[in-house]
Amino acid sequence: MTAAISVTGVDMVFNPGRRNEVTALTGIDLAVADGELVSLIGPSGCGKSTLLRLVGDLETPTNGSIEVNGKSARQARLDHDYGMAFQSAGLFDWRTVSANVELPLELLGWETARRRERSRELLQLVHLEDFAGHRPWELSGGMQQRVAIARALAMKPGILLMDEPFGALDEMTREHMQTELVRIKAETGATVVFVTHSVPEAVFLSNRVVVMSPRPGRIANVVDVALGERGDATRVDDRFFAAVTAVRSALRGSAAPMATAPGMEVAVE
């Protein structure tokens, strides 16, 4: 397995040397394999969003190195190697749904016809093909988030970085979106790093759940989740509950009782 993302010895200190200095991350080592879906989970202030933003080159680490597809994070950003989705959909009100999806392609200089075609494909992928001509404010929160995901996929990035994209959605919509993401990931083969603070969400989506702890932010545990193909049945599967329990205990800091749970194993870094 080749690593799509490898983070080595990363520290992140905000406002170094000043009174409001904050150590957001210390000694982070993480490798994400090609095609893997890894969740980052932890309490507020554990630096999970910061870690994602470092990988996406929205921040620069104080120490350590980050490689994306064998390049620096910055080069990967310049090469459009990843698409990003945030907690707020961040659609542009002055553009139609289709024009929102086309924006990254427009910036790349694609011709109109090609852009339209690609946007049509992507809206089909997120089941919003009937809303291409609508304005973002005419859509529900879940639909807006699906448009944002379609937009993140526009440049066919190998890597999707998602920062609590379903955090503002209600439980029903959220579960639906999770199922959609699993399907989209399977269809595109993308590598996904997914930040969340929902344990069931992390378990349902991921091959591995990276459990982080705060002050200073570090990786406390990595829980492997082997649930096979995900579907609605997964949510009531005993192995799903066992994995949820395993992540919960890891979050609480006791790694002991998890070894017996079937279907997953815990690797303590």
- Strand 71-72 to 191-196 pairing: unpaired
Q: How far is the CB of 115 from another protein (least distance, A)?
A: 14
91 scored as a contact of another protein (CB under 8 A): yes
Distance between CA atoms of 249 and 203, rounded to whole angstroms?
13
- Per CB under 8 A, the list member of 61, 104, 165, 217 interacting with another protein is 104
Residue among 235, 227, 234, 237 at smallest CA distance from 263: 227
Residues 183-222 that bind another protein (CB under 8 A): none
- Per CB under 8 A, the list member of 12, 40, 41, 84 interacting with another protein is 84
Q: What mask, x for binding another protein by CB under 8 A, covers residues 113 to 132? A: --------------------
158 scored as a contact of another protein (CB under 8 A): no
69 scored as a contact of another protein (CB under 8 A): no
135 scored as a contact of another protein (CB under 8 A): yes
Region from 102-110, 180-188, 227-235, 254-262 binding another protein, contact rule CB under 8 A? 102-110
88 scored as a contact of another protein (CB under 8 A): yes
Task: Rank residues 42 and 83 by Cβ distance to another protein and give the closer one.
Answer: 83
- Per CB under 8 A, the list member of 90, 167, 214, 216 interacting with another protein is 90
Q: How far is the CB of 145 from another protein (least distance, A)?
A: 10
- Per CB under 8 A, the list member of 60, 107, 171, 238 interacting with another protein is 107
Given the rule CB under 8 A, which residues bind another protein? 56, 58, 77-78, 80, 82-84, 86, 88, 90-94, 103-104, 107, 134-141, 143-144
